[in-house]
Copies of this chain bind each other. A is one copy, B any other.
Amino acid sequence: MPRFNKKRSKKAGLPPGTLVHVGKKRTEKTRITILDYDQTDFREREVKSVEKCFPFKDTSTVTWINIDGIHQIEIIEKIGKHFNLHPLVLEDIVNTEQRPKLDDFEGYIFLVMKMPYFDKENNTIKLEQISLVLGPNFVISFQELEGDALNPVRERIKNGRVRIRRSGTDYLIYALIDAIVDNYFTILEKTGEQIANIEEKLLNEPEKETLHDIHDLKREMLLFRKAVWPLRELVSSLERGELELINEPTRVFLRDVYDHTIQVIDTIETFRDMLTGMLDLYLSSISNKTNEVMRVLTIIATIFIPLTFVAGLYGMNFEYMPELKWKWSYPLVLLVISVTGIFMLFYFRRKKWL
């Protein structure tokens, strides 16, 4: 919950373009890695100072600069200055409360996306913000954390001889977005399994915890939905082909990512519907169970209360109670009581109350 706009208020009233890091406080040092490649060559290195990546701005090779950690504002500022990024872009990069979006600027495209990852410490799913800047021959990616979600892309580049090495930055950006969307699939698959587990439990023995599990998953889907709906628009803008930096051959791939995004949305909506259905099922199961228990208990009481009354009747101390003197009274009363009890039992059973 505390994800919502925490610390966002720090920025209220500041002039636009003021860089304020909004997000979880972090202490790790920012890590900068550079991948530079064309069809034949490939270099990868990690640099200590941000200035090291400046020369790549104008080389003809494709360069992917990856920044892990966005809390060191001065680094972001230097990059912004050298690569001519608009102050508002820099502001958005360091503000992790951003909504996914695409902004088309003179000479570069700026993208913000959310990526789900499994936070092992808290055992929950979280969303990390990834910002991408797509230039004519460089791509800069900004991640909140060091993550391995983009590694497959890195591997593919290393392996050479694949399409990615023959293509430009637009294909690289496609590959990155594709990796991010694939992450949603991986996470949703786990969610699907969780839902299946909960459902099974629901049909066998609903428990109190089930309610909270359903509630948590619903909440998660709510967050995902908020993150993926704008993503759809974003990919759609890329694919429509109105952006100069996106070449025609890449568009068929972007259409593919678009389809995946729709599928993610579809799955989220289906999960939401399923969870709602399960909540209803849970509530009525619980209520059914309680009703059943109460009914059985009440029936037991109902059978014995009149019998107790009969017993109480002959426990009265009146002097003139002729029945008390009769020899067969006691067995008779026992008989009456037994018959009444058994009759009630049968009656309730026949009425299907038991």
Q: A residues near B, CB below 8 A?
A: 1-2, 4-9, 11-17, 86, 88, 97-99, 101, 103, 151-153, 155-156, 162-164, 175, 178-179, 182-183, 185-186, 188-189, 192-193, 195-196, 199, 203, 205, 208, 211-212, 215, 218-219, 222-223, 226, 252-253, 255-256, 259, 262-263, 266-267, 270-271, 273-274, 277, 279-281, 283-288, 290-291, 293-295, 297-302, 304-309, 311-321, 323-330, 333, 337, 351-353
A153: chain B residues within 8 A (beta carbon): 13
A196: chain B residues within 8 A (beta carbon): 1-2
User: In the bound complex, do residue B311 and residue A316 qualify as a contact, i.e. CB atoms below 8 Å apart?
Assistant: yes
User: In the bound complex, do residue B256 and residue A12 qualify as a contact, i.e. CB atoms below 8 Å apart?
Assistant: no
A309-B307, A309-B311 known; A13 and B182 CB under 8 Å?
A: yes
A2: chain B residues within 8 A (beta carbon): 192-193, 196
* In-complex Cβ contact of A319 among B1, B259, B291, B325 (8 A): B325
Which DSSP category, helix, strand, loop or mixed, fits chain A's interface? helix
* In-complex Cβ contact of A211 among B97, B226, B284 (8 A): B284
User: In the bound complex, do residue A317 and residue B315 qualify as a contact, i.e. CB atoms below 8 Å apart?
Assistant: yes
Q: How far is the CA of A73 from the CA of B309 in the complex (A)?
A: 76
User: In the bound complex, do residue A208 and residue B330 qualify as a contact, i.e. CB atoms below 8 Å apart?
Assistant: no
User: In the bound complex, do residue B333 and residue A13 qualify as a contact, i.e. CB atoms below 8 Å apart?
Assistant: no
Q: How far is the CB of A332 from chain B (nearest CB, A)?
A: 10
Q: How far is the CA of A175 from the CA of B271 in the complex (A)?
A: 34
19 A-B pairs within 8 Å (CB atoms) are namely: A2-B192, A2-B193, A4-B189, A8-B186, A9-B189, A12-B152, A98-B263, A99-B259, A101-B259, A218-B277, A226-B266, A293-B353, A301-B305, A309-B311, A311-B316, A315-B315, A316-B333, A318-B323, A318-B326
A152-B14, A302-B301, A305-B308 known; A329 and B320 CB under 8 Å?
A: yes
A208: chain B residues within 8 A (beta carbon): 288
A337: chain B residues within 8 A (beta carbon): 313
Q: How far is the CA of A256 from the CA of B101 in the complex (A)?
A: 11
Q: How far is the CB of A312 from chain B (nearest CB, A)?
A: 3
User: In the bound complex, do residue A304 and residue B309 qualify as a contact, i.e. CB atoms below 8 Å apart?
Assistant: yes
Q: How far is the CA of A198 from the CA of B283 in the complex (A)?
A: 21
Q: How far is the CB of A240 from chain B (nearest CB, A)?
A: 15
User: In the bound complex, do residue B325 and residue A330 qualify as a contact, i.e. CB atoms below 8 Å apart?
Assistant: no
A182-B12, A299-B297, A311-B312 known; A318 and B305 CB under 8 Å?
A: no
